[in-house]
Structure 1
Amino acid sequence: MSVRASLAGNGQELVIQVDGRFDFSAHQEFRDAYEKAAEVRKYVVDLGGATYLDSSALGMLLLLRDHAGGDHSEISIMNCNDDVRKILAISNFEQLFTIQ
């Protein structure tokens, strides 16, 4: 499992890439990725390398949403495999996030 963050869009977009199992073991790394970035307006969570997603990962995504401004946040989740997309759909996350 690894979490990498990089700034794009003149430093106003934060891309967080998660590889491997996205579970509680990623909690601190995932949180550090977005809490240390300043002046970010848009967040992209790239799950192209994620092989697994559990309820703690869903909770981490909700914490990111709160950090980013709740209903006014701009967060995209992208590159989900079929299993991850199914979990997000069952959890109704398409109503809270833009899923690509």
Structure 2
Amino acid sequence: MQVNVRFDNNRAILALNGNFTFEFHREFKHATTSALQHPGLSDIEIDFSAVDYMDSAALGMLLLLNERAAGKKITLVNCKGTVKSVLDIANFGKIFEIR
């Protein structure tokens, strides 16, 4: 799993690539911590277009990010297939905007 971070004004865009599982927790935390330290950050967009699978640990990582984001808007984009199903079953649409 890889994560590429880029910034567009006050928005951090994290593009995930690979299976989003527990083995990825260090990389994900490092990338999100770095993004959250960006001056003026108001939005975080996580792009799932290159992710085909996520496990329950990934759900936990997203919840922890939501806590650490302290009110910043988090949007999950390009969710498809199994990833979309997992997010729907977990009712993550009530916590995050999913597009």
TM-score normalised per structure 1: 0.90
2:85 is the alignment partner of 1:86: yes
Q: Contact 2:45/2:77 (CA < 8 Å) preserved in 1?
A: yes
Residue 22 of structure 1: SS of its match in structure 2? Answer: coil
Q: Deviations over 1:16-48 (max 9, x none)?
A: 111111001111111111211322210000000
Q: Deviations over 1:43-83 (max 9, x none)?
A: 000000001100010011111111111xx330100001121
Tell me the equivalent position of 2:21. Answer: 23
Which amino acid in structure 2 is aligned with residue 89 of structure 1? Answer: D
Q: How does 1:40-51 map to 2 (within 5 A)?
A: 40-51=41-52
**Aligned partners of 1:14, 1:98: CA distance in 2, in Å?**
15
Unaligned 5+ runs, structure 2 = none
Tell me the equivalent position of 1:36. Answer: 34
Superposition misfits of 4+ residues, deviation over 3 angstroms? none
Unaligned 5+ runs, structure 1 = none
Alignment: residue pair count: 96
**Aligned partners of 1:83, 1:43: CA distance in 2, in Å?**
22
TM-score normalised per structure 2: 0.91
Tell me the equivalent position of 2:72. Answer: 73
RMSD in angstroms over aligned alpha carbons?
A: 1.0
**Aligned partners of 1:95, 1:73: CA distance in 2, in Å?**
15
**Aligned partners of 2:7, 2:28: CA distance in 1, in Å?**
15
